[in-house]
Each structure stands twice: as structure tokens, then as C-alpha cells.
Copies of this chain bind each other. A is one copy, B any other.
Amino acid sequence: MPAAARQNATSRTDPLPAATPPKRRAGRPASAVLDQAVITAAALRLIGKSGYDGLTMAALARSLDVAPSALYNHVTSKRDVLVLVEDHLAALVDVSAFGREPWNEAVRRWAWSYRDVFSKHTPLIPVIAVLPVTDAPQTLAMYETVSAGLRKAGFPEERIISSIVALESFIFGSAFDVTAPADIFDPGSMAESTPNFTAAVQSLAEQGHEKPADIAFSLGLEALISGLGALRN
């Protein structure tokens, strides 16, 4: 049957001849297409292109030219994918200043780097914040470096974790700020009923040429560093 004739066929019960490009078939291939590293890389690519809204199991599978269900052979849930991404990002956080610089400078660099990395990935924060370290080796490695640095700086052992948690909490919260719209503090029609707030916003706007989120981060970070440092041995 010529192609022209086929166009006019009104009923066909036989399976369509595969006009689509040769799909991989089921079954064990020479070497498996998927593994966690491949999935992580694809997820990062997808997030970079379409943001976290674009990160769906379906889109992820599509980008790997694979059925969505295939992902579940390597990952137990979408949350798992997020954990993989998170741990990958943790390795990008710069802890190199520990052991090279004084403790307070090392913390400063670490904190800025940490904030910068995760401000581009704020949807991960609710996941990280409650994630057992066991599930994220790179993250754990980061904690180890920071712990060693604080210990060497004379932080009392029993206050090391709390100090890290306090810093990290501040960092996570600040990561959200980075993504806030510029006019977030515009009181609009409520300006008259909030004179103190309105004046403070105005004053900040006139003052700073730096980004507000950076000013606040610097302010809080320096306060934390000196406050925590005061409690060393």
C-alpha cells in the first residue's frame, strides 16, 4: 500500500509500523543506561533549564529518553532525586579556607559560599534541613571539615554542633532572601499606618547600593561570628 493510500485508510486494526525513531527495547542492555549519577546529572541540567517546577519525574525520564517508571529502579521516590541533587551541591560549597585562614575568616567564606550555592536551589532547603546526614555523604564531609575547624579554633566540643546548626539556619533563611523580589518591602497603601517601618525601608533604600539581601546577610553573619567566637575556650 502506497503512502498516499495509507493516508486514506479509515480503519486499521494492525499495529502501526514504528515510524518513530528506534526506541530502546525492554530487557538488559549491553550496559545499563541509568544509574544515580546519570539521574543526578540530568536533574541538574533540567533544573538549570526549567527550574524546580520543571523537575518532574516525567520530564526527567524524557530528558534521558527513558520511561518514567525506569527511574524507580534506581531511586525510590522523587524526594530521593532531590537528595541526590542536594548532596551534589554540598560538594560545591567552599570549605577550603578551613585550615588555611583564621577560623572566623574560614567561617565567613564558608557561609557566603553555602548561601550562594543554595540560593539558587531554595526548593531543596526544606529537604536538606531535615535530612539525616547518613543519606548525604558530601554534606557529611562538609560538616566534618567545619567541625574540625571549630574544634581547632577552641570551640568547646559540646557547642560545636549547635554553632554549626545556628549558622546553617541563618544561611538557609538567608538563601530565600536572595530570591525575594526587589519591592518586597514596599508597604503600598499601608504606608501611612506603618510609619516606622516605612521610614526604615526608605532609609535603607537611600543608603545602600549593595543588595539588601547581602547587607542583611553580612550584618547577621558578623554578629553570629563574633557572638559565637566569644564563647570559645
Contact = CB atoms under 8 A, between A and B. Distances in A.
A196 interface: yes
Contacts of A148: 196-197
A57 interface: no
Nearest to A228: B223
A165 interface: yes
A126 B129 contact: no
A82 to B, nearest CB: 14
Interface stretch (A13-21, A27-35, A187-195): A187-195
B185 A176 contact: no
Interface residues of A, number: 76
Given A126-B126, A197-B144, A165 B132 contact: no
B132 A181 contact: yes
Contacts of A169: 170, 172-174, 176-177, 216-217, 220
17 contacts: A130-B180, A130-B184, A133-B190, A134-B186, A134-B190, A143-B197, A147-B197, A161-B203, A165-B213, A165-B216, A166-B217, A167-B220, A169-B174, A172-B172, A219-B231, A223-B228, A223-B230
